[in-house]
């Protein structure tokens, strides 16, 4: 049975409730956003995702610290985001500070807020934004209706005509667990692999926030329950808790990054120290 999830952010709204987030119907950025999703939904296939795992999954592209990677996001504006049009690095500090105010005792959670989007640096290394940013979804099984723009943007994706990939379970077994599902390629999966390969000590709850924070069809749309196991149901609470800070801290109030950096550098040194392989 499909469960429609209520908005996880009702308890955290720094803006008036009439402020619209994730508006995919109108607005000044809509054309850019829809074009990004159209390309994503056309080319994100099982074959494409496997190729990206081979290309990026070994983390052999460069070596740098977390803070150096974060600073690179000064040069990136997310073309899939209908809410803001400023560099992604500011959003990282907004999210982290929102979590810090509400969860002062969970420094690992604050750090997750800071670095959750760092995987978008792929877009600065010749990876097109449609394979880096935006909401994620499983490939290898039927695309669900809660995916953004799903009614019109998947028509040219060859997997929709595949005899197995186009079925409800596709290549998966019932309740196989999301850890065994091939997700569309993007910054979530890339950063998750980076943190794993470099043996960063962020708790499992934080790693799941990073890996699935863009999986809106699951944590907000209520879809893909047929692929989830008991672990996924436990982790959903944490992903939804993270989501309210990821989404509702987006404002035009730009944080003082220089003032905040020393505090977050201490958290990086605790959980993701030194130079990492990316």
Q: Token pair for residue 273?
A: 């120290």
Predicted pLDDT of residue 85: 52
Tokens 């699935």 found at: 212
**241 annotated ligand binder:** no
83 assigned binding-site residue: no
| Residue 7 known to bind ligand | no
Residue 22 labeled ligand binder: yes
41 annotated ligand-binding residue: no
- The burial of 134, by beta-carbon neighbours within 10 Å (0-12 exposed, 13-18 middle, 19 or more buried), is given as buried
- What pLDDT was estimated at residue 122? 96
Cα separations in angstroms, 160 against 41, 150, 215: 10, 12, 20
Residues of the chain with pLDDT under 50: 1-19
User: What pLDDT was estimated at residue 270?
Assistant: 98
3-class DSSP state of 108: helix
Question: What is the spatial distance between Cα 54 and Cα 208, in angstroms, rounded to a whole number?
Answer: 21
Which residue is it, tokens 């996924």?
Answer: 232
Q: Return the structure tokens found at 52.
A: 């990206």
The predicted structure's pLDDT at residue 76: 82
Distance, in Å, from the CA atom of 213 to the CA atom of 92, rounded to the nearest integer, reads 13
According to DSSP, the β-strands at 276-277 and 63-64 are antiparallel
Q: What's the pLDDT at 105?
A: 97
201 is in an annotated binding site: no
pLDDT value, residue 86: 57
Q: Which two tokens mark 174?
A: 């019932």
Cα distance between residue 193 and residue 91, in whole Å:
22
- Confirm or deny that 146 is annotated as ligand binding: no
134 annotated ligand-binding residue? yes
- What is the Cα–Cα distance from 38 to 106, expressed in whole angstroms? 38
65 known ligand binder: no
Q: Is 205 annotated as a binding residue?
A: no
**Is 156 labeled as ligand-binding?**
no
């Amino acid at each position: 049975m499909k469960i429609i999830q209520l908005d996880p952010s009702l308890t955290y709204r720094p803006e008036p409730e009439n402020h619209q987030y994730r508006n995919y119907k109108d607005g000044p950025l809509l054309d850019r956003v829809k074009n990004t999703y159209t390309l994503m939904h056309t080319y994100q296939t099982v074959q494409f995702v496997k190729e990206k795992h081979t290309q990026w999954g070994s983390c052999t592209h460069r070596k740098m610290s977390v803070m150096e990677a974060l600073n690179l996001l000064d040069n990136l504006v997310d073309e899939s985001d209908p809410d803001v049009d400023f560099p992604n690095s500011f959003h990282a500090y907004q999210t982290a500070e929102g979590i810090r105010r509400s969860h002062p005792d969970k420094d690992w959670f604050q750090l997750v807020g800071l670095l959750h989007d760092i995987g978008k640096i792929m877009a600065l290394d010749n990876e097109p934004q449609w394979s880096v940013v935006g909401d994620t979804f499983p490939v290898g099984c039927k695309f669900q209706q809660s995916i953004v723009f799903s009614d019109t943007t998947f028509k040219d994706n060859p997997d929709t005509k595949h005899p197995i990939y186009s079925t409800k379970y596709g290549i998966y077994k019932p309740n196989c667990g999301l850890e065994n599902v091939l997700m569309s390629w993007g910054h979530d999966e890339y950063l998750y692999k980076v943190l794993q390969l470099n043996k960063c000590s962020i708790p499992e709850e934080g790693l799941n926030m990073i890996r699935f924070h863009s999986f809106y069809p699951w944590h907000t749309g209520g879809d893909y329950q047929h692929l989830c196991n008991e672990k996924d149901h436990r982790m959903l609470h944490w992903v939804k808790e993270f989501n309210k800070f990821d989404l509702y801290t987006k404002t035009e109030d730009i944080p003082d990054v220089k003032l905040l950096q020393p505090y977050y550098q201490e958290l990086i040194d605790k959980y993701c120290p030194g130079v990492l392989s990316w």
